[in-house]
């Protein structure tokens, strides 16, 4: 089934880090915000890395990211996908990252998992750092291990809060 990305990127002129997922899950598309499935550990991991309370509301999530100079989006604008399965992704159309890169001062781009990393490398090219996926499908990684691995993003921000 053809699916279209329905979530606007989170960024502003102060964003220095760009974190990219592959494509929103069914639950995220329903809630119209990133990592909307309660089993996804993204918000717990990123708030632990930033030493913040885990945000609940969309506005809290956006504010936490922007206050910490982090932009968030996905690699894919539209694709054929079965449910939320990254392995089923076909016929990819990539997002236009120039809208972020022209306004923000992105120093480093990180991929949330292998699919985002591989899609970015294949369709966009350029430098990107692969981080372990926060998806519940990546059950081998605990929240603690993910937090430790994801802490690398702190080394790439100048505006620590």
Catalytic (active-site) positions? 40
* Joined tokens for residue 64: 């936490």
Cβ-based neighbours of 2, under 8 Å, separated by 6 or more: 78, 79, 80, 91
d(CA 74, CA 94): 9
d(CA 130, CA 61): 22
Cβ-based neighbours of 67, under 8 Å, separated by 6 or more: 161
d(CA 96, CA 37): 25
d(CA 152, CA 155): 6
């Amino acid at each position: 089934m053809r699916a279209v990305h329905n979530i606007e990127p989170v960024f502003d002129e102060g964003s220095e880090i760009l974190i990219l997922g592959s494509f929103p899950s069914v639950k995220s598309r329903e809630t119209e915000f990133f990592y909307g499935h309660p089993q996804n550990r993204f918000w717990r991991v990123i708030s632990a890395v930033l030493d913040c309370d885990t945000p609940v509301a969309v506005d809290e999530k956006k504010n936490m990211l922007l206050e910490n100079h982090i932009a968030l989006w996905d690699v894919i604008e539209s694709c054929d996908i079965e449910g939320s399965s990254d392995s089923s992704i076909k016929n990819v159309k990539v997002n236009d990252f120039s809208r972020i890169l022209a306004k923000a001062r992105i120093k480093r781009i990180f991929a949330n998992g292998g699919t985002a990393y591989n899609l970015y490398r294949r369709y966009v090219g350029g430098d990107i750092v692969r981080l372990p996926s926060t998806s519940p499908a990546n059950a081998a990684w605990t929240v603690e291990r993910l937090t430790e691995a994801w802490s690398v993003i702190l080394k790439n921000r100048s505006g620590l809060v």
